[in-house]
Structure 1
Amino acid sequence: MELNYNKNNLSACTSILIGKKATIDGSTIIGRNEDAMASWPKHFVIHEHKEFDENQRYISKDNGFQMDLPKVRFKYSATPEWTDKSGLFEEDGINELGIAMSATESAYSNQRVLGADPLVKDGIGEESMLTVVLPYIRSAREGVERLGEIISEHGTSETNGVLFSDKDEVWYFESGSGHYWVAQRIPDDSYAVVANQLAIQEIDFDDSDNFMYHSEIQKFVSENNFNPYPETFNFRKVFGTQEFSDEIYSTPRVWWGHKFLSGVNSNPESEDLPFIMKPNRLLSVDDAQEYLASHFQKTEFDPLNEGSQSKRYRPISLAKTQESHVLQIRPNLPLEVGAIHWLAMGVASQSIFVPFYMGINDTPEEYKIGELPYDGKSAYWTYKLAGVLLDGHYKEFGKDFQAKQKDINITLRNMLNKYDKESLEIPEEKLSDFLTDSSNQMAKLSLDSYKELIAKLITESTDFSPLNFKTDLNL
């Protein structure tokens, strides 16, 4: 069987970022759906701390981008592709210092800025970003600085947004052309949602606490007369696009985020939806996960409906999601325990966000396997199979499926609370093994439950064949 190893250059994702004073427990939260291909397995791995005798040379298999890396590489989690033939695409993770990163939210720049500063074919791209940044940073702010320096020096091959967080700060980074970039700190009492558009708006160049940027970006824009509103500097207006495709593909997902998280119901196709908002309540990790798993529920735009508007907008959770993650840094627990990599393999609305402690030293075997074609032992394929079986019979199975998801989520939270408390009594030299075993138990519970669900779906689907016939009982 001949397999296609070429992944799309851009992933069409949806992101959420939440400051620590906007959450119910003081956590910082970042999360994203990695959307690219409906059938493209992901793995979940831990890279251990390493110290090399000399600098390592990184060379991308995707586009040839290369650079030297430091001698010390921090331990970090990651979700690479099942094959590295077109590159790693490690996408998301948390390092041993509790710094979280998610890369990338694909976006688009306008032809004016790209005409003056084109994308660099062998510059850094999505495939490389996490691998050359996350293992070498000590704070979210330092992550912005490192990525910014790389793009300024080497250029970037894509227009992207990147999420960073630590226990105190949440940052969103955007590249707008081959070398120019900006980043904004999400206020502690606010959140942001992003959907395949450049999102950052007004830049305050005098506020170094909340903004970072390429040192010559003002000069670049001024000399080329790129700013349509010179009384301010709106990065989205200067570098981004405002097209009909944005109004159908991107902005409705932002509209839904603000409707769900702040109660503001604006125009789904507006090009002026705000980047940053204050929620109408304190948010939890459940809210972040529910947003990433949503598809315009309770509106005429839900693709599960049969109305004329049900396919008008691109939903947040869709079949092309390879994995969905929420990276939570909880402030009141030791770092190894407080930092949680929540991971849902496959389509978020049909999967389960399983919590993995940052302090683990390995991931379950089922999360390290899975290729093309289907492999029944793989965690990715287990969750995908359940969704495939559900897809054709939402009316018949939807409510039972959701009830099972709720039951699993309740059990996982009960287990997490129990392990949190027990971890405080574990000696330091045994903590990593304890957290690894605890995370494995939660992953096993979810996988076993889904295998039971799959068995039920298969059994109950046997009577839905189009070859069926209603027989007269008198015959």
Structure 2
Amino acid sequence: MIYTIYLILNFSDVLREYTIPLLPLYSLNIYSPREKYTTMVDRRLIPFILLILMGFIPSGLGCTTFVVTDEASEDGSTFVGHSNDGFGVGLIGHEIREDMVSFRHIIAKDHPAGAMRPVVYDPNSGGEFLGEAPSSDTQTIIIGEIPQVNHTYAYITGSYGIINEHQLMTGECTDYAKIHPGAEKGKRIFYSSELSNIALERCKTAKEAVILIGELIDTYGYYGTGETLIFADPSDAWVIEMCGGTPDGTGGYWAAQRIPPGEIFVAANEFRIRELSEDNPDQIFAKNLKDDAQTMGWWKPEDGPLDWAQVFGIGEYSHPYYSQGRVWRIFDRLAPSLGLSPYVEGPFSKAYPFSIKPDSPVNITNALSIFRDHYEGTVYDLTAPPAGGPFGDPYRVWGPYDLHDAPYEGQLKPGSWPRPISTDPCGYSYICQGRANLPDPIGGICWLGMSSPAETCYLPFYTGIYHLPAPYLHGSHWEFDLNTAFWPYELLQNYARLMYSNMAPEIKAEQERIEGAAIANQSAIEAKALELYKTDERSAREFLTEYSSETALNALNDWKKLMGEMIVTYRNGNYNDVDNKTISNIGYPDWWYEYARYQYGPRVYDIQGLNAIPDVKYVGEEANITGDPISYIEKYQTG
């Protein structure tokens, strides 16, 4: 059954339809009939209504993405990062899969004249499929077709496109927009996942990619949540943001902006492009933005320049700082000289600029570390007591107010945990590296890590490879399988939470060993590949394929070994020295004993007398007492 709410509006004489998905079988349709009915709901209230209803949009998407331009890096590399922080049914390449932790290497292809490219519906889009669909949720739905090009490029893809053979890189995050339309053949056939794949199939440069995506949205329509896509090539970087909701129910909205050379851009589940101007050579946007914004009652020229984020978006996910906290943290880590405050005045604050110049050039080690942050040492520090527990666990069991629902204006929730950059629902993350001084098959790398970034190991997959190793082609978060790439990392991440402060340093040491070796080997591997490339490109690509696969498989085996060592070493909360066959009791820190009222444990027989003493503090000392034990304890009163 589908429940529908009808709102009668007087936008014009033309029938206009919107569909904002609530749950898989629920939708809100807004109609403007040809007949001139009396307005039942003031259209200025629509955004408010949508904010309330959007609490029902399926959650699970909360990614962070960034780009470091070539002039901001130490060696002229461009870096693009993306963390896929959610699970669900997703689009993997051209397949619908019950997971978001597997990958595909799509080969380059030639296509005959007149061929059509199918467009696949993404069930994780937040946009309900409107129309007849297969009975199985995992069965691929072809929602439309577009003319195919003569030749498509090879690329690596997961839930979204990642990097193609010409070093075109992309990252993504989901945003809330004012309207999230449903998918419908002939009206709205594109979501960002297919757009990112098609851009990698057809484009060589970042600007080509954003122009193509804008044209596809204008022509074929957009459904689902708002989205941010970053595109970067070795010498240029752009961000394009998009959403649906046009008055006639077709097409969509989009705005693109170039990231200035020498700077860094970050997005974290909130639109980041602000004032738009036709006179800005570094901006491109849909021609219908301003006219439609006026029609919808969202903006008028006397308001000043159209603010894309504020006019078409609704601000942060879930709670204050859900998005802006991560933007602040990455900016502050890379440019502490800016003195940016962790606090802002509201959801559309301009306290954090569109992009920033880092204090020091960024290298690959810096880039890999960006995603491994839990706000350590800041006002949002998730390892801090008491919430971090006795062993500084940076992850939280989510409660009802931590989910990805959109707060309505003025809503004050009982409390939410800070949303870190490294989060435990993460399926995978990567940092792509592009370099103009090397041939494309050698210059482009996807440093790919499974599970949470802080506890994973990033491994290099060159753009010139012919295939991915088998463990990366399979895997589901619904089915435990240590033969996949995902589960060894996921299992260790979960186990480490039992005694995080003890296990995290050992995990970090193994990360540094494996990643450090891969980084140290880069020059030699690439010199060998370049030597082969000069005489035979195929030999160079076969060499890189073998190296990438071998490195990933060896690391996977090393991680399984580390996982076993951690389980044995910290079994039952002890330190079990395997080499010496000894067991040491680790215990808890003094502050935790005090916080847990450990001083009222079974230390004396006169428990009533002990309870009668005010302000007893745990001091972590062993005593040998005679006489009245209570009089001894009284010495430690703070009174």
**Is the partner of 1:248 in helix, strand or coil?**
coil
Deviation at residue 463 of structure 1 after TM alignment: 3.0
1:361 to 457, 460, 466: 466
Question: What amino acid does structure 2 have at the position aligned with 1:442?
Answer: T
1:13 to 2:49 alignment: no
Deviation (angstroms), 1:351: 0.3
Query: Contact between 1:15 and 1:32, CA under 8 Å: does it hold in 2?
Result: yes
Task: Give per-residue Cα distances to partners, 1:345-402, cap 9 Å, x unaligned.
Answer: 1111110111111000011112112233111111111211221221211122122221
Letter in 1 for 2:237: V
Change (3 A) 1:338 1:8: farther
Say which of 391, 399, 403 aligns to 2:505: 399
Separation (CA, whole Å) in 2 of partners of 1:76 and 1:198: 27
| Structure 1 counterpart SS, 2:82 | strand
Aligned equivalents of 1:393, 1:417: Cα separation in 2 = 38
- Residue 50 in structure 1 maps to residue 109 in structure 2: yes
Question: Residue 216 of structure 1 aligns to which amino acid in structure 2?
Answer: N
Query: Residue type matched to 2:197 in 1?
Result: T
Alignment partner of 1:442 is 2:551: yes
Aligned equivalents of 1:331, 1:163: Cα separation in 2: 18
Relative to structure 2, which stretch is displaced further, 157-166 or 363-372?
363-372
What do residues 143-170 of structure 1 show as CA deviations (whole Å, max 9, x unaligned)?
1011111111222212100111112111
Q: What letter matches 1:369 in structure 2?
A: H
Map 1:358-437 → 2, pairs under 5 A? 358-371=463-476, 372-426=478-532, 427-428=535-536, 429-437=538-546
Residue 202 (structure 1) aligned with residue 275 (structure 2): yes
> What secondary structure does 1:172 align onto?
strand
Q: After the TM superposition, which residues 128-207 of structure 1 pair with which residues of structure 2 at under 5 Å, given as runs?
A: 128-157=194-223, 158-178=225-245, 179-207=252-280
Q: Does 1:97 align with 2:166?
A: yes
- Once the two structures are TM-superposed, the CA of residue 9 in structure 1 deviates from its matched residue by 6.6
Check whether the contact 2:455–2:504 (CA below 8 A) recurs between aligned residues.
no
Kept after mapping to 2: 8 A contact 1:258/1:265 = no
**Structure 1 residue aligned with 2:422:** 317
Say whether residues 1:285 and 2:285 are aligned partners.
no
The amino acid of 1:433's aligned partner reads: E
| Alignment equivalent of 1:236, drawn from 309, 312, 321 | 309
Q: CA deviation at 1:10?
A: 6.1
Cα distance in 2 for residues equivalent to 1:66 and 1:283: 42
Q: Secondary structure at the match of 1:283?
A: coil
In the alignment, is the contact (CA less than 8 A) between 2:108 and 2:153 conserved in 1?
yes
- Paired with 2:191 and 2:266, the residues of 1 have a C-alpha distance of 22
- Is structure 2 residue 135 aligned with structure 1 residue 75? no
Question: What displacement does 1:341 show?
Answer: 0.9
Amino acid corresponding to residue 175 of structure 2 in structure 1:
A
Aligned to 1:457: 566
Asked whether the equivalents of residues 99 and 475 of structure 2 are also in contact (C-alpha less than 8 Å), the reply is: no
SS in 1 for 2:427: strand
Matched, 1:211 2:316: no
Distance 2:566 2:572 in 1: 11
Q: Tell whether 2:164 aligns with 1:106.
A: no
Segment drifting more, 37-46 vs 345-354:
37-46
> What SS class does the counterpart of residue 418 from structure 1 fall into?
helix
Gaps of 5+ in 1: 1-5, 80-88, 471-475
Q: Deviations over 1:172-197 (max 9, x none)?
A: 00014431110001001111111100
SS state of the match for residue 303, structure 2? coil
Q: 1:119 aligned to 181, 197, 208, which one? A: 181
Q: TM-score, normalised by structure 1?
A: 0.87
Cα distance between partner residues in 2 of 1:152 and 1:244? 27
TM-score norm. by structure 2 comes to: 0.65
Would the aligned equivalents of 1:18 and 1:188 in 2 still touch at CA under 8 Å?
no
Over 3 Å counting, the alpha-carbon distance change for 1:417 and 1:389 in structure 2 is farther
User: Does structure 2 retain, via aligned residues, the 8 Å contact 1:180–1:214?
Assistant: yes
Q: CA deviation at 1:47?
A: 1.0
SS at match of 1:393: helix
Contact 1:56/1:71 (CA < 8 Å) preserved in 2?
no
The structure with the largest alpha-carbon Rg is 2
- 1:66 to 2:144 alignment: yes
Q: Whole-Å Cα distance in 2 between the matches of residues 359 and 325 of structure 1?
A: 17
Instruction: Tell me how far 1:57 sits from its aligned partner.
Output: 3.6
Give the aligned length: 445
Q: CA deviation at 1:40?
A: 4.4
Q: CA deviation at 1:294?
A: 1.2
CA distance change for structure 1 residues 203 and 246 in 2, over 3 Å: closer, same or farther? farther
Conserved 8 A contact 1:143-1:164:
yes
Selected match of 1:304 from 383, 386, 391: 383
Of 437, 441, 448 in structure 2, the residue corresponding to residue 343 of structure 1 is: 448
User: Alpha-carbon deviation of 1:314?
Assistant: 0.6
User: Could you tell me whether the CA contact under 8 Å between 1:18 and 1:186 is conserved in 2?
Assistant: no
Q: Whose relative contact order is higher, 1 or 2, with alpha carbons under 8 Å and at least 6 apart?
A: 1
Task: Could you tell me which runs of 5 or more consecutive residues in structure 2 were left unpaired when the two chains were aligned.
Answer: 1-23, 25-56, 89-97, 124-128, 130-140, 246-251, 389-393, 395-415, 575-582, 586-639
Q: Tell whether the 8 Å contact from 2:67 to 2:265 is kept in structure 1 after alignment.
A: yes
The residue matched to 1:198 in structure 2 has which SS?
coil
CA contact (8 A) 1:415 1:442 kept: no
Letter in 1 for 2:231: F
One-letter amino acid matched to 1:109 = A
After superposition, the Cα gap between the structure-2 partners of 1:125 and 1:9, relative to the gap in structure 1 and judged at 3 Å, is farther
Q: In 2, are the aligned partners of 1:92 and 1:325 still within 8 Å (CA)?
A: no
User: Is the alpha carbon distance of 1:417 and 1:375 closer, same or farther for their aligned partners in structure 2, counting shifts above 3 Å?
Assistant: same
Match of 1:266 in 2: 340
Residue aligned with 1:181, SS: strand
Pair 1:469–1:279, CA change in 2 (3 A): closer
- Distance in 1 (alpha carbons) for counterparts of 2:271 and 2:360: 26
Measured after TM superposition, the shift of residue 293 of structure 1 is 1.8
C-alpha separation between the residues in 1 aligned to 2:199 and 2:234?
Answer: 18
- Which letter does structure 2 place at the counterpart of 1:340? I
CA distance in 2, matches of 1:394, 1:198: 34
Q: In angstroms, what is the RMSD of aligned CA positions?
A: 2.6
Following the alignment from structure 2 to structure 1, what is the Cα–Cα distance between the partners of residues 510 and 168?
33
